[in-house]
Amino acid sequence: MGICMSSASVNQTPPTAGLFSSELKSATRNFRSDTVLGEGGFGKVYKGWLADKSTAKSGNGSMIAVKKLNSDSQQGFQEWLSEVKFLGRLSHPNLVKLLGYCWEDKELLLVYEFMHKGSLENHLFGSGTSVQQLPWQIRLAILVGAARGLAFLHGLDRKIIYRDFKSSNILLDGSYNAKISDFGLAKMGPTESQSHVTTRILGTYGYAAPEYVSTGHLYVKSDVYGFGVVMVEMLTGLRALDTNRPDGQHILVDWIKPYLSDRRKLKNVMDSCLEGMYPFKDAFQIAQLALTCVENEHKIRPSMQEIVEKLEQIDSGNEKPTEHKLNSTTRGTAYRRGQLPLRNGSPLYPRQDCNCVKKERLPKRVAVLCEKHFYYSLIYANHKDQNLVE
Ligand SMILES: Nc1ncnc2c1ncn2[C@@H]1O[C@H](COP(=O)(O)OP(=O)(O)OP(=O)(O)O)[C@@H](O)[C@H]1O
Ligand SMILES: [Mg+2]
């Protein structure tokens, strides 16, 4: 069923309170360049401040993130609609809240809760003074949170396949709690009588499951593959896809798989930013779990619920620090740049963290675009209506 149908279901959402693009313009100081938080494939994300009109007190309000999608791109419209359709109707502690959306004239805007610590991708691979290195304990907690978010989607009566699981779509709040964002590519899962859904091939190189890339058949377990890739990024501090690496090493998982199953080899590929401060036993267990997630055969990958349980078990074996003390040294320091503790036989070459090529999406086909019209609404996410119909 096409996009028009989806748009009709969006229209049925009662416009309880409106967000005009003018409000969002003033919230972001007219989308000023110094409010840009980041940029994805379909537009920029801005930081904003939405004043609370219900209280007379000046200064009351909340910090928001506003995604402005390229309205001239049909795929941008498709992603906007999907975000509204899925994220707007779901609520879970490990999913970013969509606070509102706006479609006015040519403006396609999405308003999210502001995630103070930005994306996991930025912490693992970014540079600059705001980027803090993530200690082991926090990496583990992030994996647990993100796994719970995906398990929630997979546990719904009508499962949702997220389809674009990657470190840039895992956002962190002020306490480093992980929330999954970006439902632009999410898809209703198969019905009970089906094993998969067939879709246009969309996703991100390096994270997309092999069966999906080769056939367009999307399984719930295709998400598990992406989760496994993020686990490997967490362990190694290396990007899922980096065309700056030598031939044969561009796709992290394909390259690093043989190093995960061997204790000695694993030590050699662990992220040097951890400075050896992690329980190796746990790292090895995570590596084994990651290996099962990135199995070529989707049927033998574990379910997200099994992954949650395993990660919780590993996490509970660790002493929790009372306060997450992060080392705020800037990425791109000498040792980040090149002095990875290479050992004999290590497959690694010096990293070039800050120069990695921006991840590339799989080729997209043009989406069907229905007639545009104006509407706006503020969403109140609720649990009651989780069985979305496409
Ligand atoms: N709710 C938010 N709070 C704070 N920062 C955010 C929020 N949403 C997005 N960002 C920032 O904006 C960046 C861009 O996000 P966006 O989802 O547009 O692109 P991406 O995930 O990098 O790429 P893609 O288009 O492939 O999803 C994120 O990496 C993050 O740093
Ligand atoms: Mg994203």
Q: What pLDDT, in 10s, does the model give residues 154-211? A: 999 999 999 999 999 999 999 999 999 989 889 888 887 788 888 777 789 899 999 9
Asked whether the predicted pLDDT for residue 386 surpasses 70, the reply is no
Q: What's the average model confidence in pLDDT over 214-232?
A: 96
Q: Is 164 a catalytic residue?
A: yes
Q: What's the average model confidence in pLDDT over 101-114?
A: 87
Which pLDDT belongs to residue 176?
96
Residues of the chain with CATH 1.10.510.10: 118-320+356-388
Instruction: Give yes or no for residue 284 CB within 6 A of ligand 1.
Output: no
Q: What pLDDT, in 10s, does the model give residues 55-91? A: 556 677 889 999 998 777 777 888 888 889 888 889 9
Tokens of residue 384, six digits: 């009651």
> Which CATH number, 1.10.510.10, 2.40.50.140, 3.65.10.10, 3.30.365.10, labels domain 118-320+356-388?
1.10.510.10
Asked whether the predicted pLDDT for residue 111 surpasses 50, the reply is yes
Which pLDDT belongs to residue 196?
86
35-40-46 Cα angle (round to 5): 15
Tokens of residue 217, six digits: 């058949």
User: Could you list which residues have their CB under 5 Å from ion ligand 2?
Assistant: 40, 169, 182
Q: What pLDDT, in 10s, does the model give residues 358-375? A: 333 433 222 222 222 223
Q: Which residue has the tokens 């740049």?
A: 337
Q: What's the average model confidence in pLDDT over 106-118?
A: 91
Which pLDDT belongs to residue 317?
84
Instruction: Give yes or no for residue 183 CB within 6 A of ligand 1.
Output: no
- Closest atom of ligand 1 to CA, residue 43: 18
Tell me the CATH class for 2-113: alpha beta
CA 341 to each of CA 82, 266, 303, 347: distance values in angstroms, whole numbers, following the listed order: 44, 13, 35, 11
Ligand 2 centroid–CA 291 distance in Å is: 25
Residue whose CB lies within 8 A of the most ligand 1 atoms, among 31, 44, 45, for a mutation test = 45
Instruction: Give yes or no for residue 45 CB within 6 A of ligand 1.
Output: yes
Q: Is 159 annotated as a binding residue?
A: no
CA-nearest residue for atom 28, ligand 1, is 38
CA-nearest residue for atom 12, ligand 1, is 38
The catalytic position among 52, 105, 164, 271 is 164
Q: What pLDDT, in 10s, does the model give residues 229-249? A: 999 999 999 999 999 999 999
CA distance 45 to 55: 27
Asked whether the predicted pLDDT for residue 4 surpasses 70, the reply is no
User: The pTM is what?
Assistant: 0.80
Q: What's the average model confidence in pLDDT over 263-279?
A: 95
Tokens of residue 238, six digits: 């290396």
- Closest atom of ligand 1 to CA, residue 114: 3
pLDDT, averaged across the chain: 77
Which pLDDT belongs to residue 285?
98
CB 125 within 8 A of CB 353: yes
